[in-house]
Structure 1
């Protein structure tokens, strides 16, 4: 039955990085496919507790899923497996209940047919189906090394090399990713994304969709101009980020950066936790710091590679990430990690596909307050990817170092934590400049190459921080 392996669409809210990692590991362990869009999903897994203003856009995602569909909320650590089991049982019950009571021999088929990868071809019932049950959950499941062998992460691979061994297929254009950008429906819905009457700029609507208006493009032609929001429901997308793009043809002409509310609380940003604990006087070893930095870079690299279309290498990055977080020794992952890094580095197709995108030279990055790998890379998307992987390789030798971390070390995975602003704020600030003038299909790749962590926006001043 198809419901035994439901396709999962995961949406992560700010502050729920650890829950996302647990959910990804558990879904991978079960071998369930990962949906690239609501139309291909059976199960919507929301990582984090939604705020009241999040209800409407989450409801819209669920209404876009074909019946039967279930929505769950992963609200805490340690119960993801239990909640997924409950969701699968509910999906099966819904599938059985929706079967006609009388079928002839020609129409009888197992419940849930057609298969998982054909979900998008079934009839969608739109707003008519009810919302799935909500369950709470919690704690990182045991990491697992299985990759996404049967289900792509959500990108058309006709425009990119999906494997570094396939370079004989010729040039691969990133433009084919446009079909998978996944814009949200542009309607007012309250909260930080309610721009009705603002982004529309007086445009009319047809069937609830904004009509294009005209403006001069970069070639002095009068082309349609469309205002489209992206996020926060996309796969491999910074949690809570919303971009309002002004598109003219296939070119981004303007960008407004917004995000869901990032609640300040007692939990530290997951990726910055070792440095922040050390800043508050706790004893943290150098091995703990290096391990978290390497895991963060592998997570970012995996998300970028998934967006580009390298699903199998992205899955390998995530397995290595989970191994590091679970305490694997250098000897346990050294060979796998170096083979993965070598595979990425020797692919001419991958280099050709993303070289030149999102150029951020060091002088411009420094002026914008960018620190960390994005500053050190001094280049484009490809340079930032290699910087992440090279830092992981360099960190292997210190994974098991039990010496205490330097008390003045305040440099997290995305940059200095003791500056006048969180490092991810600077990454958000440079996004409009990097995206304006880029082709629409490349915008998501550029965002993934910076991978800002919105959890950092709630940071209070770090002890020893410099002040503007």
Structure 2
């Protein structure tokens, strides 16, 4: 058996999938994560570790450029598909598997097809024009064996030393690094527009650092093709050494102006629709669990992140609170017990309440009155509070609403304020901490596409 055939057979049993999520694809992303977990397929931490690319949601103008860049960085054999609705996820995953399992011919990679809402089968389309050469300035990944982490048998209760739960959770396919464990390796996996003259890599320039020394400054975009990253967000950062000297936010909004998934109950009530309070509590609890999972994952604690995602899916699936509330309590106690987790997140992205209020920040980020660790604890407390109300069948008031990220009846969406404070919170932070700071705010760019309540 040749090496190509051996790799193909190995990759088709449990292919590592890299989801590329567009704004507006939150509900589909949740279905993708649940589908991958059921199948035991890992999520790839980078294109170099992937064997399949799954584009999630319908992007706007220019959205195909960064997904094409990701596709070019995935080594052969590989497969690609697009899914734009939660009910098409299983078909899309089956299509990825069929393409990878097909006898290798030519380049050994292909398109599994696009699956829209309600479609029962993937539609094939040719893979022409997606070769290995990156003519858009994206950084190519090494074409070697896919390095997937093995998290077995470490035991313990601290980040980077988890038990056996990762075997049935795809989220543990990341790395056990310092906070922001996806790091510079994943940063180059995103669509980069700043290619320099040497091998397509951005080159450093000279600038004064905070100590008055003349050091190299490297300009690097983070996103949008990163795992556990807000869909549609790009951060243009300037680094000197491993310190962020400057950061600017670029955003993309959903192609269609649909209600943001996490804010849907409150926005529907504001439009005069009948919504019960329990539906809002359930959605808010699940949103906080989703944010908790992202923050735990990028902090190097994948197994509790898997637990948070399972709880999130149980909440969204309509399960009674008695079936998952005890698990939520156990997760909270485990997080609070971890001294390593606290040490690795405390002090990052400090946002005092007074400053948050001046910046228009509301919701958990304001209530936390502190750093990334404080925001994590606030999410846990809020998740517990909303868990107690999921069975409330009283009508939801159409005014004075606060969604998972803040007030929805203010002059602008709550995530807009979170994005506005993000550059200042990143300035002076170590590069390895940048992803933790972003995850601790977890702005939802879907909110930028619709008018707020009021």
- Is TM more than 0.5 here? yes
Higher mean C-alpha deviation, range 324-333 or range 43-52: 43-52
- Counterpart for residue 407 of structure 2: 416
Q: CA deviation at 1:148?
A: 5.4
Structure 2 residue aligned with 1:157: 176
Question: How many Å apart are 1:405 and its aligned residue?
Answer: 1.8
Provide the C-alpha distance between the structure 1 equivalents of 2:225 and 2:325, rounded to a whole number of angstroms: 34
**Which residue of the partner structure matches residue 234 of structure 2?**
242
Query: For the structure 1 residues 328 and 203, does the alpha-carbon distance in structure 2 shift closer, same or farther, using more than 3 Å as the test?
Result: closer
Please give the secondary structure, in 2, of the residue aligned with 1:382: helix
Q: Structure 2: how far apart are the matches of 1:221 and 1:371?
A: 39
Separation (CA, whole Å) in 1 of partners of 2:97 and 2:264: 34
Instruction: Give the secondary-structure state (helix, strand or coil) at the position aligned to 1:209.
Output: coil
- In the TM superposition, residue 409 of structure 1 has moved relative to its aligned partner by 3.6
Q: Secondary structure at the match of 2:263?
A: helix
User: Does residue 136 of structure 1 match 2:124?
Assistant: no
In structure 2, relative to structure 1, the CA distance for the partners of 1:363 and 1:154 (3 Å cut) is: farther
Distance 1:317 1:148 in 2: 15
1:10 matches 2:19? yes
- Paired residues for 1:369-408 under 5 Å: 369-408=360-399
Deviation (angstroms), 1:154: 5.4
Stretches of 4+ aligned residues off by more than 6 angstroms: 96-99
CA 1:330 to 1:152, structure 2 compared with 1: closer, same or farther past 3 Å?
A: closer
The SS at the match of 1:269 is: coil
Cα shift at 1:138: 3.8
Q: Secondary structure at the match of 2:365?
A: helix
> What is residue 231 of structure 1 aligned with on the other side?
223
Contact kept? 1:237, 1:448, Cα under 8 Å: yes
2:161 aligns to what? none
Q: How far has the Cα of 1:270 moved from its partner?
A: 0.2
Instruction: Please give the alpha-carbon distance, in whole angstroms, between the structure 2 residues aligned to 1:37 and 1:204.
Output: 21
Match of 2:426 in 1: 435
Q: Distance in 1 between matches of 2:174 and 2:42?
A: 14
Aligned to 2:122: none
Deviations 1:86-134 (A, max 9, x none): 21011111547779xxxxxxxxxxxxxxxxxxxxxxxxxxxxxx65343
Q: TM-score, normalised by structure 2?
A: 0.83
Q: CA RMSD in A?
A: 2.2
**Alignment match, 1:221:** 213
CA contact (8 A) 1:295 1:321 kept: yes
How far did residue 427 of structure 1 move? 0.3
Give the equivalent residue in structure 2 for 1:105.
none
Q: 1:454 to 1:281 in 2, by over 3 A?
A: same
- Could you tell me how far apart the structure 2 residues matched to 1:131 and 1:216 are? 47
Structure-2 residue corresponding to 1:44: 53
Q: Tell me, in whole angstroms, the C-alpha distance in 2 between the residues paired with 1:35 and 1:184.
A: 11
Residue ranges of structure 2 left out of the alignment (5+ in a row): 1-9, 119-164
Alignment of 1:101-120 (within 5 A): none
Task: Give the Cα–Cα distance (whole angstroms) in 2 for the partners of residues 64 and 323 of structure 1.
Answer: 35
- The alignment covers a number of residue pairs equal to 399
The worse-fitting range, judged by mean Cα deviation, of 394-403 and 216-225 is 394-403
Other-structure match for 2:82: 73
The answer to whether the 8 A contact 2:81-2:113 is kept is yes
SS in 1 for 2:361: coil
The farther-off stretch of 225-234 and 74-83 is 74-83
For 1:178 and 1:353, locate their aligned partners in 2 and report how far apart those are by CA, in whole Å. 15
What TM-score does the superposition give when structure 1 sets the normalisation length? 0.81
Q: Tell me how far apart the structure 1 counterparts of residues 219 and 19 of structure 2 sit (CA, whole Å).
A: 25
State how far apart, in whole Å, the 1-side matches of 2:98 and 2:410 are.
49
Q: Is the 8 A contact 1:214 1:224 kept in 2?
A: yes
Greater shift in the superposed pair: 278-287 or 372-381: 278-287
Residue pairs, 1:58-457, within 5 angstroms: 58-95=67-104, 132-138=111-117, 149=168, 153=172, 155-159=174-178, 177-184=182-189, 188=193, 205-265=197-257, 267-457=258-448
Secondary structure of the residue aligned to 1:18 is helix
**Displacement, 1:335?**
1.4
Q: 1:327 to 1:353 in 2, by over 3 A?
A: same
CA distance in 1, matches of 2:399, 2:171: 43
Deviations along 1:257-312, whole A, 9 cap, x unmatched? 001243352x2100000000111111111111110000000000001101111111
| Distance of 2:168 and 2:263 partners within structure 1 | 31
Query: Cα offset for 1:179?
Result: 4.0
Q: Distance in 2 between matches of 1:203 and 1:35?
A: 24
Q: How far, CA to CA, are the matches of 1:400 and 1:454 in structure 2? A: 29
Indicate if the aligned counterparts of 2:60 and 2:254 stay in contact, CA closer than 8 A. Answer: no
Cα separation, 2, equivalents of 1:406 and 1:71? 44
1:17/1:135 CA distance change after superposition, 3 Å:
same
* 1:54 match: 63
Q: Determine if contact 2:15/2:51 at 8 Å carries over to the other structure.
A: yes
Which residue of 2 is the match for residue 30 of structure 1?
39
